[in-house]
Amino acid sequence: MRPRALPGLAGRRWRSAAAGIISSLCLVAAFGAADSQAAAPKAAALPSYDHVVVVVFENKQYGEIIGSSNAPYVNQLANAGASLTAMKALTHPSQPNYFNLFSGATQGIVGDGCYTPQSMTAPNLGQELIAAGKTFATYNEDLPGEGSTACVNGQYAQKHNPWFAFKNVPLNTGKTFAQFPKDDFGKLPHLSFVVPNQCNDMHSCPVATGDAWLRNNLGAYAEWAKTNNSLLVLTWDEDNFLGSNRIATVFSGAKVKQGQYGTAYNHYNLLRTFEDLFGTAHAGNAAGATPIAEVFGDGTTPPGDLKVTPPGAQTCKFIQSCSVQITAAGGKPPLRYSAAGLPLGLSIDAATGRISGKPWQVGTVQVTVTATDTASASASATFPLTVDWF
């Protein structure tokens, strides 16, 4: 049965009211869309780099790395560069975090089992870089051969190498670590990942093993990057399941502003940063993430006054291992550290600012630590250090 039309004035009023409601709904939708677009982060005005190398380590809490005597080289890079103090991984176990970092989503991966190679088509960092006319590669320690889709090979594990899952990333971009151009860093692609094997990434071996591997294999690149418009980034996949998933992340190289940065970030922010460094599209959840822009400068901005942060009152035990980390910010890196008034048995590492040793002089002393930059500017701080018998 057809509805009866409203007569005369009543009909005209009904039609007018309906038109007004529809018009209002359209305006609400339009403003809602505009608000949604305005809420999405814009591409950050980040510096331009010739080369970015990203090294991913494994399964360590922030405190196992930053300030640890087991990681002197990482701390040297952190003290001279930019260190994120509130960076967190997104999930557990390892493999989903690698997919988050590379593609902005887990792509349905929930465990560490082997995936089907070349089975995914989702947007990802490698595909985005290539589409933008940039070069991309990964250097995977103990990979059997270039483009190999092996699940395991000795200490190599596919679960740390998400790039082989995507058919829109050429297999030949997955290289062995032996192919890393140590003889000429200028041959590096615009962005590359370096993935140590499961011993050297600290997964199955001590922190000190991975720290030494980094110094021996990428220390030369870290120095070269400072004067060759290049960047080194260190990060971890997750913590050891015993903390809040807080992980260390360090930026070192040209145009990096030295300091510690306490903004909360995660792997999506890091992916967004890489994308904005090279002006690519944004994959998955990186589209809504804020890039880590605060760690970068233009290479001409003064780094600010050099300051040493006093560590507060410290206590050590007689003839027992003791460690105190000194931190400084500002100045022109790299910084050199010295200390006066240390009890017998303790000394300071000039490069990292870590005081360590086994004191054999009891009592309380006033220790003065000094940081000096390459422009000969210096700053000092004093703190009490007590050595007790027991």
pLDDT, tens only, 339-349: 999 999 999 99
pLDDT of residue 373: 87
Q: Is the pLDDT of residue 304 over 80?
A: no
Give the SS3 label for residue 266. Answer: strand
Once rounded to an integer, what is the mean pLDDT over residues 324-348?
Answer: 90
pLDDT of residue 41: 63
Residue of 174, 205, 252 whose CA lies nearest to 60: 205
pLDDT of residue 174 exceeding 80: yes
Kindly give, in sequence order, each residue whose CB lies less than 8 Å from that of residue 245, ignoring residues fewer than 6 positions away.
88, 89, 90, 91, 92, 238, 239
Q: Which residues pair with 7 in a beta bridge?
A: none
Note the pLDDT of residue 37: 35
- Residues 110, 94: Cα–Cα separation, whole Å: 9
Instruction: Please tell me the predicted confidence (pLDDT) of residue 306.
Output: 85
State percent of the chain over pLDDT 90: 78
7, pLDDT greater than 90: no
Tens digit of each residue's pLDDT (9 = 90 or more) over 71-115: 999 999 999 999 999 999 999 999 999 999 999 999 999 999 999
* Domains identified in the chain and CATH numbers: 51-295 (3.40.720.10), 307-388 (2.60.40.10)
142 pLDDT more than 70 = yes
**Cα dihedral: 79, 318, 347, 365 (round 10):** 90
Assess whether pLDDT exceeds 70 at residue 300: no
Identify the pLDDT of residue 2. Answer: 42
Q: Which of 25-34, 216-225, 279-288, 362-371 has the lowest mean pLDDT?
A: 25-34
Question: Residue 21's pLDDT is what?
Answer: 40
Torsion angle of C-alpha atoms 165, 169, 170, 175, degrees rounded to 10: -70
> Of all residues in the chain, what percent carry a pLDDT higher than 70?
87
Q: Is 44's pLDDT higher than 70?
A: no
Q: Determine the residue type at 188.
A: L
**Does 64 score more than 50 pLDDT?**
yes
Per residue in 191-223, pLDDT (tens digit) is: 999 999 999 999 999 999 999 999 999 999 999
Residue 157 reports pLDDT greater than 90: yes
Copy the structure tokens of residue 259: 């300091």
Does residue 8 have a pLDDT over 50? Answer: no
Residues 250-278 have a mean pLDDT of: 96
**327-329 vs 307-309, strand pairing mode:** antiparallel
DSSP class of residue 290?
Answer: P
Cα-Cα-Cα-Cα torsion 192, 198, 203, 205, nearest 10 degrees, comes to: -120
When pLDDT is cut at 50, 70 and 90, the band that residue 390 belongs to is: confident
Question: Which of 266, 296, 293, 269 has the alpha carbon at shortest distance from 283?
Answer: 269
Place of tokens 């899952």: 165
Check residue 302 and give its pLDDT. Answer: 52
pLDDT of res. 376: 81
